[in-house]
Amino acid sequence: MRLALAGLSHESNTFAPVAAGLGQWRRAGILTGDEIPAVHATAQSIVAGCLAYQDEQPDVEVVPLLYSELTPMGPSTAEAFDY
């Protein structure tokens, strides 16, 4: 069985003066493919737990696709959403 790993994490606040633009997402790190396990494989995070699952289940392959997380700020801009 193959499981896709993808996630975006962002706490948005409409009262925050700075919108979550594509530049902020890029500075935070938009990880794709092999970049995800390179950053999270030894971390203590939900992503690390998902990656470790395949080690516990020989019939499971976790396929890392996309992951990014951003600190709290205003809502994402249309440009970031479209990207």
More confident residue, 11 or 42: 11
Residue 6 — very low, low, confident or very high, per pLDDT cuts 50/70/90? very high
For residue 22, the model assigns a pLDDT of 96
Cβ distance 36 to 47 under 8 Å?
A: yes
User: Is the overall model pTM greater than 0.75, yes or no?
Assistant: yes
**Displacement of CA 15 from its chain's centroid (Å):** 24
pLDDT per position as a tens digit, 66-80 = 999 999 999 999 999
Cβ distance 64 to 30 under 8 Å?
A: no
pLDDT per position as a tens digit, 30-52 = 999 999 999 988 888 889 988 88
